[in-house]
Amino acid sequence: MKTLVRKLWLPGALIIGLLFAGCLLVSLTYVIVTNFSFTASSGFYTQSIDLTNNKTWDDNKDKIDLIDAVGFEMTMVNSNDEPVTFNTYVTPAGTAYTRKGQLDSLAYVIIHDLTVEHGTTVMTYAQSLTHLENLDKLKELVKGGSFVYYGTATSGGATVGGFSVNPGKIVVTFTVTK
């Protein structure tokens, strides 16, 4: 028996090593960060997001198997005296909505009725994960590489200025197979 084990030990180890060396080359999980900012002051914000501007994404865009996670890091500045209600939405690329009513009926809300107090508020990536809605749709749009990101700031039901997000960061975790 000992002889048999000795004979099988080395080839067994080589086979296992080669098997895993091959497998290790085929699948990786990346995290990328894309910056954005809302600079308008009318209370209605829009930003086209193109992930292909990120080199890691662009190099792997045809090999993406899975969007593991999507989240945001945002520094929000509310210069109004009163708190504002912040909503964000996403749509497929190419839309150009101009009113909150259109977003409420046609877009996918991903952060819903977040109250932002006067001053500067930072939403961390981990905190954003607790607010996200329509996550499956968001992942689907992200996987496509480009989409439109909308935001509204309202007070008393009307959009208000004096609110900005700068910087904003979209954090995408994805798995590729090569």
Partner 1 sequence: MRKYVLIAILLFAVAQVAVGQVPRLGVGAFVGVSIPVVQKDQAKGSDFGFRVRLKALSFLVVEPNLEFVKWGKPGVVEGVDLGIDGSKVTSFGVDVTLGGLPGAVGFKPFALVGAASYKVKNDQTGFDESHLGYSAGLGFIIGLMAKIDVDVRGKLVIIPTTGSGSKKAANIAAGLNYNF
Binding site for partner 1 (CB under 8 A): 1, 4-5, 8-9, 12-13, 16, 19-20, 23-24, 26-33, 65-66, 68-69, 71, 73, 124-126, 129-130, 135, 169, 171, 173, 175-177
The distance of closest approach from Cβ of residue 58 to partner 1 in the complex, given in angstroms and rounded to an integer, is 15
Nearer to partner 1, 73 or 87 (CB): 73
The distance of closest approach from Cβ of residue 155 to partner 1 in the complex, given in angstroms and rounded to an integer, is 29
Nearer to partner 1, 27 or 98 (CB): 27
The distance of closest approach from Cβ of residue 103 to partner 1 in the complex, given in angstroms and rounded to an integer, is 23
Q: Vertex 44, ends 111 and 58: CA angle to 5°?
A: 65
Nearer to partner 1, 26 or 106 (CB): 26
Nearer to partner 1, 40 or 135 (CB): 135
The distance of closest approach from Cβ of residue 156 to partner 1 in the complex, given in angstroms and rounded to an integer, is 33
Residue type, 100: K
